[in-house]
Structures are given as C-alpha cells and as structure tokens.
Amino acid sequence: MALGLFLLRLLDLEGFWIDVLLALTVTYATYTWMHRHTADRLARAQKTLRDIRKQRFDELEKAYVRPGDELNTLLWQVYRNGQVLEKEIELFRRTETYRRDFIGNVSHELKTPIFSVRGYAETLLDGALHDPEVSRPFVEKILRNADRLHNLAADLSELSKIETGELKMSRQLFDLPQLITETTELLEAAAEKKEVSIRVRIPSNITTAFGDPERLKQVFVNLIDNGIKYNNAGGHVEVVARMLPDHRIKVTVADNGIGIPSHHLNRVTERFYRVDKSRSRSQGGTGLGLAIVKHILAAHEAQLVIDSQVQRGSTFGFTLPSRVPDAAH
Ligand code: ADP
C-alpha cells in the first residue's frame, strides 16, 4: 500500500487514481484473506473425507456449527457422517463376530450328539444289536442324544424368532396362579424322577397378571426345570408370588440346589454359557434356556434378577404388572 502511494506520488497521480488503487488493494487483500480462510477449511473437509474413506475414525477433527457459516456447517456434516459411519461399521463388525461365534457354537453343540449317535449305531451294527444286554442301553443313549438335538433345534428356533422380532408377544390379562399350576404339573414327572419337590405359594390377592401367557409359561418352565436339574435328591423348588405396593407382582423361583459361583452369575444368561458343561449336557440342557428367559422378560420390560450361593441354592426373580398398565392409575 505504502509502496503504491509512493509510486503515485512519484508519478504525480493523485485524487481519482489513488481511490482506484486503494479500492483495488482492499479488494485484493479481502480476496486473499477469504481465499486462505476458505481454502483452509476446504482442505480440512477433504482431510476428513479422506480419513473417513480410510476408516481412520480416531483422527476425525471435531467441527462445530456456526450460524450463518455454511462452510462450517458443511465441515460439521462431514464430521457427523464420519461418526455415523464409524458406528455402523462397529455394529457390522460386532454382528459379524456374533454370527461367527454363534455358528461356531451351534456346530460345536451339534457335533457331540451326532458323534454319539453315530458311534452307538455303528457299534450296534457291528454286532451289539444281537446282544440284548448292550443293545437296549445303546438304543436308549441314541434316543437321549436325539432328544438333545430336538431340544437344541427347538431352543435355537425360539431364540432366533425372539431376536429377529418374528415372534410377536401378545399382551393380555391372564390367570397367573393357573398358569403356574399348569407349569408345575407339566414338570411334576421330571421332579419326581430327581426326587425334587415343587412348592407353590401364591396369596389370594394375586389373581391376574398382564403379559404374554404362552411366553411367560416358557419362562416358568425354564426356571423351574433348571431348579430341578441343578438340584440334589431331596431338594425343592419353590415358586412364590407377592403383590408389591405399586400393584406389580414379584415372582421368584427359588431352589436349594447346587447354586452358581458368583463369578459366573452375570454370564449365565449368555447363549451357550454353562457353569458345568457336562452336567448341563447330561441333563439335556442346551445352554439357551436363560438366554430365552432374559429375552422374553425384556419384551415384558422386566429384568431377571439372580441371586445364588454355592451349595445353598439360587433364586431367580422378576416383576410383572397385575393389571392392564393404563388402568393401573
Ligand atoms: P442349560 O440348558 O444348560 O440349563 P440355561 O441357559 O438354562 O442352560 O442355564 C445356563 C447355566 O446356568 C446352566 O448350564 C447352569 O450351569 C446354570 N444354572 C441355571 N439355572 C441354575 C440353577 N437353578 N441352579 C444352578 N445353576 C443353574
């Protein structure tokens, strides 16, 4: 600028031309400043897009929206897209890991009974078929393994229907004491075989509960069945319902069986997780029962609370509404 004025002085040009030169200088300075300012931010947007393309999400530079500043809004949008993509990729990776683990677990679970069935069938064909001392127990073992496969197929189909949302839960008032009685009757024979008694304690002020009776029956079957399976001869399973002050019903299924060591407690509801694999398998367990229970209860907005002590027993509890929720107030 000073140099310009000096030149003008030198050339003895003043007045109009000075104004023109001043205007030009200001325009140029503004343009340069604007260009640098814009170019910097465009370069930042390009770098962010590059980072997104190369999945370098930890390098994304945070941007902020400034009202009236379109370029910053663009930077913010690019940054947000990066964040969304990072979450999607993370979810995809987790789903992929889950799928791989799940298939690995399922094939592992299938292999054992299939291997046993083959083994027993081959031994029978190799001659044991004509030895009644051996053939009968072998056929019984084949049947037990077929039952295991049947249980696994049923639980897997149930779990996948629940997880994919294919299985719609119904919501209705139903007779809770009757449902519990029906369930215990269903399991009476299994309990007798293991010399375990089932007790039910439901006060008379509990008549109805609100939820899906079919699915909740499954919850009771799984919990009571576990109470029988993981118990000792002479043990008991007790189903208790109690009305809470907020008109919800607290239900517990408690046993005095083998219990669950505390470090396993928060994992027993995971698919295929078992404390004692061979005990579970010998009882026809699939390792999916509590995962199914947890899902069904979650669909009822209820949480499964587990309390257990080794060699003392376990208690599984959850709450259900006793009335149609809207009518409760
Ligand atoms: P499983 O088909 O093996 O019984 P579950 O999902 O029902 O599968 O239970 C998972 C594991 O939790 C069982 O293998 C067992 O180790 C433990 N478990 C469940 N219920 C009880 C219980 N009432 N007492 C002791 N252990 C239990």
pLDDT tens for residues 118-163? 999 999 999 888 998 999 999 999 999 999 999 999 999 999 888 8
3-state secondary structure the chain: CHHHHHHHHHHCCCCHHHHHHHHHHHHHHHHHHHHHHHHHHHHHHHHHHHHHHCCCHHHCCCCCCCCCCHHHHHHHHHHHHHHHHHHHHHHHHHHHHHHHHHHHHHHHHHHHHHHHHHHHHHHHHCCHHHCHHHHHHHHHHHHHHHHHHHHHHHHHHHHHHHHHCCCCCCCEEEEHHHHHHHHHHHHHHHHHHCCCEEEEECCCCCCEEEECHHHHHHHHHHHHHHHHHCCCCCCEEEEEEEECCCCEEEEEEEECCCCCCHHHHHHCCCCCCCCCHHHHHHCCCCCCHHHHHHHHHHHCCCCCEEEEECCCEEEEEEEEECCCHHHHC
Q: What ligand 1 atom has the least distance to the C-alpha of 269? A: 6
Average pLDDT over residues 19-44: 88
Q: Whose CA is nearest to atom 25 of ligand 1?
A: 259
pLDDT tens for residues 212-240? 999 999 999 999 999 999 999 999 999 99
- Residue 9 pLDDT > 70, yes or no? no
Residues with CB under 6 Å of ligand 1 are 222, 226-227, 230, 255, 257-260, 268, 273-276, 280, 285-291, 314
- Residue 193 pLDDT > 70, yes or no? yes
Cα of 275 vs centre of ligand 1, distance in Å, is: 7
> What is residue 328's predicted lDDT score, i.e. its pLDDT?
47
Q: Among 10-19, 179-188, 286-295, 311-320, where is mean pLDDT lowest? A: 10-19
Question: What pLDDT band is residue 69 in, cutting at 50, 70 and 90?
Answer: confident
- Residue 13 pLDDT > 50, yes or no? yes
Average pLDDT over residues 300-315: 97
Q: Among 61-75, 118-132, 180-194, where is mean pLDDT lowest? A: 61-75
Higher model confidence: residue 327 or residue 61?
61
> What is residue 33's predicted lDDT score, i.e. its pLDDT?
85
To test the pocket of ligand 1, the residue of 290, 292, 295, 296 to mutate (highest count of ligand atoms within 8 Å of its CB) is 290
Cα of 307 vs centre of ligand 1, distance in Å, is: 13
Whole-prediction pTM: 0.76
Share of the chain above pLDDT 70, in %: 95
